[in-house]
């Protein structure tokens, strides 16, 4: 595969060049969303890891900034988070002009050691100074990483809390601090639930159930790799309570052994923004998988490798009597929706000759007289399969088959993902497509599947009923407004 075969996304954040993995230091400050990210300033492999930087006022148009925190002789700058030190607890800023404080993992190679270090910015996140007393939290171990810091304000008091992982022990460790530099141990969580691979990039935050401020639960997000539901990297979440010291899982919250945040292969290391109201809790994840991330084609002649998911607002909802995390993408600019006419479909019919390269598709299909249906995305109108999204009502799942052309990307790329959905007669989906990715939101956003897609030869959209005719109540496609 050549570089030209990996097109730059339209809707998704991607750096101008070079390697990118996890989002870091997500913070909303003075009207701007700051997105830092794991990057290699020197090339397209995972090396010299530093924090890249972009910012946006609307989460869709991103301005690229110079490297924010550069690797040095102490180590690479692995994943972490940023907070606004409003009370100037650290003393790095002032009460009027609060510093942004980043906690990140300083990862040294020789000896192999991972400890948490601090950098601060007194110019609203544009330039950063590493703290002279680094590292600020060192357990003397080699896989202690990914600090996510937040301000806890509750019955137990008001202080900073850090969640980080002892990755190979599959443990989330919680610490507290009054000044962001001195940390004391609070408690640990795990290993439990999905415990294959290593645990990485935890996040912990409160959400109100169905928007009810008197029923607040805490959600712990844990990325793990390998051992994800679709193979390789994946993300689980745990709903529970946090009393300021200990996080305890709500055992009957969801009724499932493991709650997967995403059923695809390419949603990893997702974390949320600091500085937003509880109802606006927003996550961005890396749209890739360590199974093949290092060998993906580097795109568009710019030698760039890596993109993010759409930003997603998170909420907690009761669905079929259980609590579920719901994700709703922050809408990107779209052209007017085009509704497609299709009434009853049995044999395969082409709905559109040219599906937009990027955009949103919403669909509502009544399957009461059928076993399900299959949607062929970017297929050849003459009959080739393309990407196949199928609904099987009996099984109560949808599947996404991205095998066609997948072996050109990487040998472990071709796959069929499966996601349980509520098994109703009427299936409603919201699908965001980009040149090389798909994000599928089902059950009102409580089931999500994110996959990178191989380059496709076809452009058409087709549908067929399976085990009978389906009634297409609505299919509408809105093309993304191409930036620039
Ligand atoms: C997750 C991760 C983190 C680590 C970073 C290194 O993808 O492995 O645990 O801090 O990437 O780039």
Q: 22-47, pLDDT tens digit by residue?
A: 999 999 999 999 999 999 999 999 99
User: Does residue 98 or residue 110 have the better pLDDT?
Assistant: 98
The DSSP output letter for 308 is B
The DSSP output letter for 87 is T
* pLDDT tens-digit map of 175-206: 999 999 999 999 999 999 999 999 999 999 99
Q: Candidates 19, 25, 38: which one to mutate for ligand 1, based on the most atoms within 8 Å of Cβ?
A: 38
Token pair in block for residue 97? 């002009």
For residues 53 and 68, give the distance between their C-alpha atoms in angstroms, rounded to a whole number.
6
Task: For 203-221, give the secondary structure using H, E and C.
Answer: EEEEEEECCEEEEEEEEEE
Determine the average pLDDT of the residues in 389-398.
97
**pLDDT, position 383:** 74
The DSSP output letter for 1 is -
Give residue 484's pLDDT band: very low, low, confident or very high (50, 70, 90): low
| Ligand 1 atom closest to residue 22's alpha carbon, by position in its atom list | 7
Delineate the domains of the chain, giving CATH numbers in brackets. 20-329 (2.115.10.20), 338-479 (2.60.120.560)
- Taking alpha carbons only, the member of 328, 298, 289 closest to residue 310 is 328
For residues 49 and 28, give the distance between their C-alpha atoms in angstroms, rounded to a whole number.
23
Tokens 């919201």 sit at which residue?
430
**SS3 state at 167:** helix
**pLDDT, position 7:** 73
Q: In sequence order, what are the beta bridge partners of 9?
A: none
Phi, psi of 293 (to 5 degrees): -50, -40
Number of helical H runs and strand E runs in the chain:
0, 35
* pLDDT tens-digit map of 224-278: 999 999 999 999 999 999 999 999 999 766 677 899 999 999 999 999 999 999 9
Active site residue 22: yes
- The radius of gyration computed from the CA coordinates of the chain, to the nearest angstrom, equals 22
**pLDDT, position 32:** 98
Task: List Cα–Cα distances, 385 to 24, 45, 49, 401, 405, in angstroms.
Answer: 38, 33, 40, 10, 10
**pLDDT, position 4:** 43
Burial class for 51, CB neighbours closer than 10 Å (0-12, 13-18, 19+): buried
In the predicted model, what is the mean pLDDT of the chain?
94
Determine the average pLDDT of the residues in 156-174.
98
DSSP output for 12-53: S---SSEEEEEEEEEEEETTEEEEEEEEETT-SSS-S-EEEE
> Is the C-alpha dihedral spanning 104, 111, 292, 72 positive or negative?
positive
Determine the average pLDDT of the residues in 306-318.
97
Which residues have a Cβ under 8 Å from the Cβ of 209 and sit 6 or more positions away?
215, 216, 217, 316, 317, 318, 323
Give the chain's end-to-end CA distance (angstroms, integer).
27
Give distance in angstroms: CA of 200 to centre of ligand 1. Answer: 7
Tokens 């994800």 sit at which residue?
228
**pLDDT, position 257:** 85
Where residue 53 falls (left for φ over 0; alpha for ψ -120 to 50; beta otherwise) is beta
| Ligand 1 atom closest to residue 200's alpha carbon, by position in its atom list | 9
**pLDDT, position 302:** 77
Give distance in angstroms: CA of 233 to centre of ligand 1. Answer: 11
| Ligand 1 atom closest to residue 145's alpha carbon, by position in its atom list | 10
User: Please, are residues 21 and 13 in contact by the beta-carbon 8 Å criterion?
Assistant: no
For residues 475 and 364, give the distance between their C-alpha atoms in angstroms, rounded to a whole number.
7
**pLDDT, position 3:** 42
Listed range (292-301, 356-365, 460-469) with the worst mean pLDDT: 292-301
Burial class for 294, CB neighbours closer than 10 Å (0-12, 13-18, 19+): middle
Give distance in angstroms: CA of 431 to centre of ligand 1. Answer: 28
Task: List Cα–Cα distances, 397 to 53, 156, 266, 430, 459, in angstroms.
Answer: 38, 43, 19, 15, 26
Whether the per-residue pLDDT at 2 is higher than 70: the answer is no
For residues 109 and 73, give the distance between their C-alpha atoms in angstroms, rounded to a whole number.
10
Whether the per-residue pLDDT at 413 is higher than 60: the answer is yes
As for ligand 1, residues whose beta carbon falls within 6 Å of it are 21-22, 38, 49, 78-79, 105, 145-146, 200-201, 269
Token pair in block for residue 354? 């040219």
Residue nearest atom 9 in ligand 1 by C-alpha distance: 200
Listed range (83-87, 123-127, 152-156, 340-344) with the worst mean pLDDT: 340-344
Determine the average pLDDT of the residues in 114-124.
98
For residues 448 and 110, give the distance between their C-alpha atoms in angstroms, rounded to a whole number.
40
Whether the per-residue pLDDT at 5 is higher than 60: the answer is no
């Amino acid at each position: 595969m050549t570089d030209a075969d990996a097109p730059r996304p339209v809707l998704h954040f991607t750096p101008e060049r070079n390697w990118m993995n996890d989002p870091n230091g997500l913070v909303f400050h003075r009207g701007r969303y700051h997105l830092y990210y794991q990057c290699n300033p020197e090339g397209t492999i995972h090396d010299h890891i530093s924090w890249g930087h972009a910012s946006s006022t609307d989460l869709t148009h991103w301005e690229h900034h110079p490297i924010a925190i550069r690797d040095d002789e102490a180590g690479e700058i692995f994943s972490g988070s940023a907070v606004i030190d409003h009370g100037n607890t650290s003393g790095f800023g002032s009460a009027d002009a609060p510093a942004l404080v980043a906690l990140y993992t300083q990862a040294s190679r020789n000896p192999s050691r991972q400890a948490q270090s601090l950098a601060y910015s007194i110019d609203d996140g544009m330039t950063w100074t590493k703290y002279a007393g680094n590292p600020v939290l060192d357990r003397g171990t080699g896989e202690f990483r990914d600090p996510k810091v937040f301000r806890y304000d509750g019955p137990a008091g008001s202080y900073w809390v850090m969640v980080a992982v002892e990755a190979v022990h599959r443990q989330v460790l919680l610490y507290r601090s009054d000044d962001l530099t001195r940390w004391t141990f609070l408690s640990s969580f795990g290993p439990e639930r999905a415990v294959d691979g290593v645990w990485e990039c935890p996040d912990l935050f409160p959400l109100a159930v169905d928007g009810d401020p008197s029923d607040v639960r805490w959600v712990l997000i844990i990325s793990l790799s390998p051992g994800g539901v679709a193979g390789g990297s994946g993300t689980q979440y745990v709903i529970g309570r946090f009393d300021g010291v200990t996080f305890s899982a709500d055992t009957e919250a969801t009724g499932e052994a493991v709650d997967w945040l995403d059923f695809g292969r390419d949603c990893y290391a997702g974390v949320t923004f600091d500085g937003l109201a509880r109802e606006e809790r927003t996550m961005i994840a890396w749209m890739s998988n360590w199974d093949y991330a290092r060998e993906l084609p580097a795109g568009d002649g710019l030698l760039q490798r890596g993109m993010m998911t759409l930003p997603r607002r998170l909420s907690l909802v009761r669905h079929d009597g259980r609590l579920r995390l719901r994700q709703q993408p922050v809408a990107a600019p779209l052209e007017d929706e085009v509704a497609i006419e299709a009434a009853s479909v049995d044999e395969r019919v082409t709905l559109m000759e040219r599906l937009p390269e990027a955009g949103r598709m919403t669909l509502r299909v009544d399957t009461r007289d059928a076993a399900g249906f299959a949607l062929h995305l970017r297929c050849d109108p003459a009959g080739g399969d393309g990407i196949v999204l199928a609904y099987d009502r009996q099984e109560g799942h949808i599947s996404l088959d991205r095998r066609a052309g997948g072996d050109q990307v990487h040998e472990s790329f071709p796959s069929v993902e499966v996601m349980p959905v509520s098994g109703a007669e009427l299936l409603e989906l919201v699908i965001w497509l980009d040149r090389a990715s798909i994000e599928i939101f089902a059950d009102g956003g409580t089931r999500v599947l994110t996959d990178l897609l191989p380059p496709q030869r076809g452009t058409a959209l087709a549908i067929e009923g399976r085990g009978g005719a389906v009634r297409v109540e609505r299919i509408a496609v809105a093309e993304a407004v191409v930036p620039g």
